[in-house]
């Protein structure tokens, strides 16, 4: 599936809203949009390091699965998460 920039932004918004928990959304948006360090996001969410990384891992799997199910091809990866 090929999406325009606006379609991709809408798709991403819906994906985050439907697939991720509130904590997952906060963590990913904080790191990607606001460039917050992981440690600061952990403090914001009152999470231990291992719980934080498990939550991010689960979020990435949910996003990946949804993209595959909807046949969306991603040309760049968010490797800094």
Residue 52 has pLDDT above 80, yes or no: yes
What's the pTM?
A: 0.77
Contact 26, 45 (CB under 8 A): yes
Burial track 22-42 (b if 16+ CB lie within 10 A, e otherwise): ebbeebbebbeeeebebeebb
Tell me the pLDDT band of 25, cut-offs 50, 70 and 90: very high
Contact 63, 12 (CB under 8 A): no
What is each CA distance from 20 to 16, 24, 55, 76, in whole angstroms?
A: 5, 6, 10, 20
**Which CATH code, of 1.20.1530, 1.10.3470, 3.40.50, 1.10.10, is assigned to 5-69?**
1.10.10
């Amino acid at each position: 599936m090929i999406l325009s920039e606006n379609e991709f932004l809408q798709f991403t918004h819906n994906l985050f809203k439907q697939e991720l928990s509130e904590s997952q959304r906060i963590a990913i948006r904080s790191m990607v949009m606001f460039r917050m360090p992981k440690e600061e996001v952990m403090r914001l969410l009152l999470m231990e390091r291992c719980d934080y990384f498990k939550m991010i891992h689960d979020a990435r799997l949910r996003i990946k699965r949804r993209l595959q199910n909807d046949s969306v091809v991603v040309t760049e990866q968010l490797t800094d998460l």
